[in-house]
């Protein structure tokens, strides 16, 4: 009996256990990889993914974003999130896939600056909602004025990673166009540095062209008004730069290209490769310019890849980026932060690993900002606030390594500086190198760190000029004013020492102060 | 009383000097000798540190000087009160007597005791009197034991009849009278724990000597008491410190005087003291290397400073000590001797060193 039970397991039997794991199933088990690791964060992620999508959608159709965010507290652990925008809407046939299938999206396959990129975000929220509450998600969308809106109720079939439509009907909506999503989830609402409130405030700073209405779980209505009516520039899509691809990408591109020769493949499917450069590359790779791309084997692809890296190619075009712009960023800061002084800068475009990027920085100083504590750093990537993993981020590192003492702030070693300041740092790129899929921290690329530091130094210099002019002058003024208060003290002690009348001494000292005042002021002016 | 009046008139003189400026509607100022290494001169003849001629002016109407100027006049006024009332105050008392917030501001006349201590030292220079003469005393610090009888404030005290704690050395030892002194030498040590060890072994009785310890830096009271015993009874003084830069500097202060109090060297420095240990010879001879502690950056920089001091610069023996320690890259404590047995220090190390006159000068 015992022996019979120990019968051998055959490969055939084992193979029955092998089966494809769907992305949705994978997420179910690894939700932390996408940032849904605790209830506080899950609520934030849901708002964030929906708001990012709304802003991206509005940008695409050149319209000033009008966004409505509402969080309702259903119980201490359960919330309803509603997000509505005035974007282009989604055609009926695509709605189920956009919201009910992971890794379905319009942005992953293009090289262009956008907030989202992988097509995971919003469907992950849908999945999270269904996992924690069993409820399905409601979507309402309308694509133009004359047409009817569509209302869907759906969830995700985790086995097949496909949408499971529960309700599909026409509806009336008084909006011209837009999308509204409504979902329930297990979550927790908290205030503070990593809260939904903070997220929306920071979004308002870097997107001053958006009007955001936010109804908090405490039913308070917050309106983040526009700081500008200028539309954010729409970023152009670019072709890959030869320095920005990996061998695997190249092999894939060779297999799907519509071009017929290697020469035309290089000039048409890449940016910055002209006929001359293409010839150089072919020569270096020891391949004929007439080779058919589709017929190239792995060995040839590798030769080509090497040659591409070794050939000097102009830096990628930069119109694929849409920085906020120094002026607009300053307006964003001014409307959300009450300070005495603002400075912002946009650096010229730079390149890391063949990907163009732009760094923008801003500092708000004084006013309502807390005086004695650490400087607050607000990090942004493609206009999206990064609220988690501050310590692991290249932006944080660059800030610490900047010598703030020369720019008027206090700092010990390479720590965060202290003083009444908020530092805003924005990295815009067609491909932001995050340290993980949860997109919390920027990876440490030297080229990026260098640009961040230059941006911070540029702002720092202007900050220092301001501090020197205004604050130091005020401090000196105060010190000079102190003499008036010192005089009675000195008069009293001196009178006690010499038995001379205090009032006489006092009057004479006051006279001397008047005489000395111009010298005192000019001395201090010269010193600093 | 005449003495008290003398001090009082010096304080008044200081006040009148300032008053002169006030009356002529000039920016009031005080001239004070610079108390820093840059103004300390090693007198090769007397073998003590002296204050040089560098002076600085402290102005009242100057953003950087104002507060210190006010403190200086204020401390003079506090001292005048003490002399008037014939009361003594501690450094801490004086700090509190000066400390108050100036009306209409958030500025305190003094924020830390180091500030009042500092202007008290300035006042000594300005009046030429020691702080004790101005009725300001430091805390008592250090213990002493030996076959000595003294008279202090009307009491007769025998230093050999005070048990395990010994006699505590007050800040002001000027008025102490020695009735009988029965000792062949004085042993001064940096560590109170070592003093306790030697007292328990009744080392002072067996070897007919006086034992004195401080805790860390040697106070003025201890230095003045050492100087009086040295001058009045011609007793040799041997210094025992840790094997590190700070221990060496303790010896340097007792022997030559300190940088901060170079003006008081005459009453404090004892050029005849000898350094007993711990020396680098001891390290080799008594096999103390296994108890080495690695030098830290501040130890090394302190060693470099010591080697540069003009009173050590031409002293070959000391330069060799500094160099050896840097080569070792290590320091050691007196207590490392205990690894050879708890009474090793009293029964072997000290008797051997003293008998062989194994000193550094």
A201-223 average pLDDT score: 94
Distance from C-alpha of B217 to C-alpha of B113, rounded to nearest angstrom: 18
A198 & A166 share domain: yes
CATH of the domain at A69: 3.30.565.10
**Residues from B in contact with A at Cβ < 8 Å:** 11-12, 14-16, 18-19, 22-23, 25-28, 60-63, 66-67, 69-70, 73-74, 76-77, 80-81, 102-105, 107, 109
How many residue contacts between A and B have a Cβ separation below 8 Å? 83
* pLDDT tens profile A255-298: 888 899 999 999 998 988 999 999 999 999 999 999 999 889 98
What range does the domain containing A282 cover? Answer: 242-310
Å between B31 CA and nearest CA of chain A: 16
Distance from C-alpha of B359 to C-alpha of B144, rounded to nearest angstrom: 22
* Domain membership flag for residue A453: yes
* Domain membership flag for residue A446: yes
B207-231 average pLDDT score: 92
> With an 8 Å Cβ cutoff, are B74 and A516 in contact?
no
Please name the residues in contact with A109: beta carbons below 8 A apart, sequence gap of 6 or more.
none
Q: Which residues of A touch B77 (CB under 8 A)?
A: 493-494, 496-497
Angle formed at CA A420 by CA A419 and CA A421, multiple of 5 degrees:
95
Last residue of a domain, one of A423, A457, A491: A457
Please state, for a pLDDT cut of 90, what percent of chain B lies above it. 81
Å between B175 CA and nearest CA of chain A: 28
CATH of the domain at A303: 1.10.8.50
B110-127 average pLDDT score: 93
pTM for the structure as a whole: 0.56
Å between A342 CA and nearest CA of chain B: 30
Å between B12 CA and nearest CA of chain A: 5
Closest Cα partner for A242 from A344, A405, A353?
Answer: A353
* Domain membership flag for residue A230: no
* pLDDT tens profile B253-268: 999 999 988 888 888 9
Strands A78-85 and B89-90: unpaired
A305 & A330 share domain: no
* Domain membership flag for residue A14: no
Distance from C-alpha of B195 to C-alpha of B213, rounded to nearest angstrom: 6
Q: Which residues of A touch B103 (CB under 8 A)?
A: 485, 488
Among the partner-chain residues B61, B73, B105, the one whose CB lies closest to the CB of A485 is B105
Last residue of a domain, one of A286, A310, A334: A310
Interface of A with B in 433-492 (CB under 8 A): 476, 479-480, 482-483, 485-486, 488-490
What is the pLDDT at residue A523?
57
What is the pLDDT at residue A104?
60
Q: Which residues of A touch B22 (CB under 8 A)?
A: 494, 505, 508-509, 512
> With an 8 Å Cβ cutoff, are B25 and A512 in contact?
yes
Whether pLDDT at A306 is above 80: yes
Examine domains B2-137 and B143-355 and report if their fold is the same.
Answer: no
* pLDDT tens profile B1-45: 456 688 888 999 999 999 999 999 999 999 999 988 999 999 989
Distance from C-alpha of B301 to C-alpha of B31, rounded to nearest angstrom: 33
A85 & A215 share domain: yes
> With an 8 Å Cβ cutoff, are A479 and B63 in contact?
yes
Angle formed at CA B269 by CA B265 and CA B271, multiple of 5 degrees:
130
A446 & A477 share domain: no
Interface of A with B in 175-214 (CB under 8 A): none
Distance from C-alpha of B330 to C-alpha of B319, rounded to nearest angstrom: 16
Which of the two residues, B80 and A319, has the higher pLDDT score? B80
CB B212 within 8 A of CB B223: no
* Domain membership flag for residue A493: yes
Whether pLDDT at A109 is above 70: no
A50 & A152 share domain: yes
A49 & A71 share domain: yes
Whether pLDDT at B294 is above 90: yes
Pick among A475, A479, A490, A503 to test the B interface (most B CBs inside 10 A): A490
Enumerate the β-bridge partners of residue A381: A384, A427
- Please give the mean pLDDT across all residues of chain B: 92
- In the residue annotation, B96 being an active-site residue is answered as yes
Which of the two residues, A452 and A309, has the higher pLDDT score? A452
Q: What is the domain partition of chain B in residue ranges?
A: 2-137, 143-355
Closest Cα partner for B98 from B117, B125, B84?
Answer: B117
What is the pLDDT at residue A83?
95
Pick among A493, A500, A507 to test the B interface (most B CBs inside 10 A): A493
Q: Is B360 helix (H, G, I), strand (E, B) or coil?
A: strand
Window from A108-112, A150-154, A455-459, B73-77 with minimum mean pLDDT: A108-112
Window from A144-148, A220-224, B120-124 with minimum mean pLDDT: A144-148
Distance from C-alpha of B138 to C-alpha of B89, rounded to nearest angstrom: 9
What band does A19 get if pLDDT is binned at 50, 70 and 90? low
A4-14 average pLDDT score: 65
CATH architecture label of B2-137: Orthogonal Bundle (1.10)
A497 & A443 share domain: no
Q: Any CB–CB contact under 8 A between A522 and chain B?
A: no
> With an 8 Å Cβ cutoff, are B63 and A524 in contact?
yes
DSSP structure class, residue B103: T
Whether pLDDT at A405 is above 70: yes
Q: Which residues of A touch B28 (CB under 8 A)?
A: 490, 509, 512
- ipTM of this complex prediction, to 2 decimal places: 0.82
Q: How many CB atoms neighbour CB A213 within 10 A?
A: 16
* Domain membership flag for residue A494: yes
Phi and psi at A70, nearest 5°, equal -135, 135
B49-75 average pLDDT score: 92
A453 & A476 share domain: no
Pick among B26, B29, B73, B127 to test the A interface (most A CBs inside 10 A): B73
Order of strands, sheet of A178-186, starting from the edge strand that comes earlier in the sequence: A162-171, A149-157, A137-142, A178-186, A78-85, A66-75, A211-215, A221-224
Cα nearest neighbour of A490 on chain B: B70
Window from A233-247, B4-18, B48-62 with minimum mean pLDDT: A233-247
> With an 8 Å Cβ cutoff, are B19 and A479 in contact?
no
Distance from C-alpha of A263 to C-alpha of A278, rounded to nearest angstrom: 6
What band does A95 get if pLDDT is binned at 50, 70 and 90? confident
A121 & A35 share domain: yes
Whether pLDDT at A524 is above 70: no
A284 & A369 share domain: no
* Domain membership flag for residue A425: yes
What is the pLDDT at residue B107?
87
What is B143-355's CATH number?
3.40.1360.10
- Please give the mean pLDDT across all residues of chain A: 87
Window from A226-235, B13-22, B65-74, B342-351 with minimum mean pLDDT: A226-235
Question: What CA dihedral angle connects A483, A487, A488 and A494, to 10 degrees?
Answer: 150
What band does A316 get if pLDDT is binned at 50, 70 and 90? confident
Q: Which residues of B touch A494 (CB under 8 A)?
A: 15, 18-19, 22, 73, 77
Cα nearest neighbour of A475 on chain B: B63
* pLDDT tens profile B174-188: 889 999 999 999 999
Q: Any CB–CB contact under 8 A between A40 and chain B?
A: no
What is the pLDDT at residue B171?
87
What is the pLDDT at residue A443?
93
Helix (H) or strand (E) holding A477: helix A473-498
Distance from C-alpha of A362 to C-alpha of A381, rounded to nearest angstrom: 14
Closest Cα partner for A126 from A142, A93, A104, A107?
Answer: A104
> With an 8 Å Cβ cutoff, are B107 and A515 in contact?
no
Distance from C-alpha of B114 to C-alpha of B116, rounded to nearest angstrom: 6
**Cis-peptide, bond into residue B278, ω within 30° of zero:** yes
Cα nearest neighbour of A505 on chain B: B22
Pick among A479, A480, A486 to test the B interface (most B CBs inside 10 A): A486
Q: Which residues of A touch B61 (CB under 8 A)?
A: 483, 512-513, 516, 519-520
- Ranked by mean pLDDT, the top range of A25-29, A151-155, A396-400, B4-8 is A396-400
Q: Which residues of A touch B23 (CB under 8 A)?
A: 508
Å between B338 CA and nearest CA of chain A: 41
A277 & A387 share domain: no
Whether pLDDT at A528 is above 60: no
Last residue of a domain, one of A259, A277, A310: A310
A153 & A285 share domain: no
Q: Which residues of B touch A511 (CB under 8 A)?
A: 25
As to burial, measured by CB atoms within 10 angstroms (0-12 exposed, 13-18 middle, 19+ buried), residue B184 is exposed
* Domain membership flag for residue A4: no
Q: How many domains does chain A have?
A: 4
CB A137 within 8 A of CB A183: yes
What is the pLDDT at residue A365?
95
What is the pLDDT at residue A135?
92
């Amino acid at each position: 009996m015992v022996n019979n039970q120990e019968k051998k397991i055959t490969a055939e039997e084992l193979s029955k256990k092998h089966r494809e794991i769907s992305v949705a199933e994978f997420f179910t088990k690894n939700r932390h990889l996408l940032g849904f690791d605790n209830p506080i964060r899950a609520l934030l992620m849901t708002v964030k993914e929906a708001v990012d999508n709304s802003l991206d959608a509005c940008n695409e159709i050149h319209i000033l974003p009008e966004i409505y965010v509402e969080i309702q507290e259903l119980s201490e652990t359960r919330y309803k999130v509603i997000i509505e925008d005035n974007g282009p809407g989604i055609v009926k046939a695509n709605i189920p896939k956009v919201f009910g299938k992971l890794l379905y999206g319009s942005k992953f396959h293009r090289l262009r600056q956008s907030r989202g990129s992988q097509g995971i975000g919003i469907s992950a929220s849908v999945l999270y909602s269904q996992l924690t509450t069993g409820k399905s998600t409601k979507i309402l969308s309308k694509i133009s004025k004359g047409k009817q809106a569509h209302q869907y109720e759906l969830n995700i079939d985790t086995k097949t990673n496909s949408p499971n439509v529960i309700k599909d009907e026409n509806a009336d909506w008084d909006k011209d166009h837009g999308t509204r999503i409504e979902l329930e989830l297990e979550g927790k609402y908290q205030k503070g540095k990593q809260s939904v409130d903070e997220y929306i405030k920071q979004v308002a700073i870097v997107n001053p062209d958006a009007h955001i209405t936010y109804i908090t779980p405490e039913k308070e209505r917050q309106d983040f008004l526009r700081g500008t009516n200028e539309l954010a520039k729409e970023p152009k899509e670019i072709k890959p730069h030869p320095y920005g691809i990996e061998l695997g990408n190249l092999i894939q591109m060779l297999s799907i290209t519509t071009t017929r020769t290697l020469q035309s493949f290089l000039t048409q499917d890449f940016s910055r490769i002209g006929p001359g450069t293409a010839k150089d590359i072919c020569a270096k790779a020891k391949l004929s310019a007439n080779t058919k791309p589709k017929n190239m084997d792995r060995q040839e692809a590798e030769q080509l890849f090497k040659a591409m890296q070794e050939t000097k190619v102009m830096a990628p075009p930069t119109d694929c980026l849409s920085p906020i712009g120094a002026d607009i960023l300053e307006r964003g800061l001014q409307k959300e932060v009450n300070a005495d002084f603002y400075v912002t800068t946009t650096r010229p475009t730079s390149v890391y690993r063949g990907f163009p990027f732009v760094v923008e920085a801003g500092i708000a100083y004084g006013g309502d900002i807390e005086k004695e504590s650490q400087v607050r750093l607000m990090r942004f990537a493609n206009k999206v606030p990064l609220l988690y993993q501050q310590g692991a981020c290249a932006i944080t590192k660059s800030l610490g390594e900047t010598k703030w003492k020369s720019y008027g702030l206090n700092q010990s070693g390479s720590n965060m500086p202290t003083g009444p300041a908020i530092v805003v740092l924005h990295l815009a790129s067609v491909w932001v190198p995050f340290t993980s899929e949860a997109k919390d921290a920027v990876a440490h690329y030297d080229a990026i760190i260098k640009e961040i530091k230059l941006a911070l130094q540029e702002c720092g210099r202007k900050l220092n000029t301001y501090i020197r002019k205004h604050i130091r002058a005020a401090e000196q003024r105060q010190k000079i004013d102190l003499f008036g208060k010192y005089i009675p003290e000195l008069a009293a002690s001196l009178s006690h020492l010499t038995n001379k009348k205090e009032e006489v001494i006092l009057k004479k000292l006051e006279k001397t102060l008047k005489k000395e005042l111009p010298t005192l002021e000019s001395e201090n002016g010269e010193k600093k | 009383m005449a003495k008290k009046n003398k001090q009082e008139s010096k304080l008044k003189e200081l006040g009148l000097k300032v008053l002169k400026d006030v009356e002529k509607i000039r920016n009031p100022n005080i001239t004070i000798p610079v108390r820093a290494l840059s103004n300390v001169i090693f007198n090769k003849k007397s073998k003590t540190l002296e204050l040089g001629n560098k002076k600085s002016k402290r102005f009242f109407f100057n953003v950087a000087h104002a507060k210190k100027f006010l403190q200086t006049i204020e401390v003079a006024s506090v001292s005048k009160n003490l002399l008037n009332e014939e009361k003594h105050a501690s450094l801490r008392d004086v700090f509190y007597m000066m400390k108050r917030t100036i009306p209409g501001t958030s500025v305190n006349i003094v924020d830390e005791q180091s500030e009042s201590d500092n202007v008290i030292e300035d006042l000594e220079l300005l009046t030429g009197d020691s702080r004790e003469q101005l009725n300001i005393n430091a805390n008592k610090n250090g213990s002493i034991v030996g076959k000595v009888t003294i008279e202090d404030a009307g009491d007769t005290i025998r230093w050999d009849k005070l048990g395990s704690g010994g006699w505590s050395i007050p800040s002001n030892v000027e008025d102490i009278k020695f009735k009988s002194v029965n000792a062949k030498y004085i042993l001064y040590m940096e560590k109170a724990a070592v003093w306790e060890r030697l007292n328990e072994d009744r080392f002072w009785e067996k070897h007919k000597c006086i034992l004195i310890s401080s805790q860390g830096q040697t106070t003025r009271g201890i230095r003045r008491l050492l100087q009086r015993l040295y001058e009045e009874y011609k007793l040799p003084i041997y210094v025992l410190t840790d094997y590190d830069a700070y221990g060496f500097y303790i010896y340097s202060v007792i022997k030559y005087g300190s940088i901060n109090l170079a003006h008081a060297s005459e009453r404090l420095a004892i050029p005849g003291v000898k350094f007993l240990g711990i020396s680098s010879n001891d390290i080799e001879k008594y096999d103390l290397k296994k108890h080495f502690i690695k030098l830290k950056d501040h130890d090394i920089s302190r060693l470099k400073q010591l080697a540069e001091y003009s009173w050590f610069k031409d002293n070959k023996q000391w330069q060799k000590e500094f160099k050896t320690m840097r080569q070792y890259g290590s320091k050691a404590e007196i207590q490392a001797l205990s690894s050879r047995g708890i009474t090793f220090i009293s029964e072997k190390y000290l008797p051997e060193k003293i008998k062989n006159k194994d000193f550094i000068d």
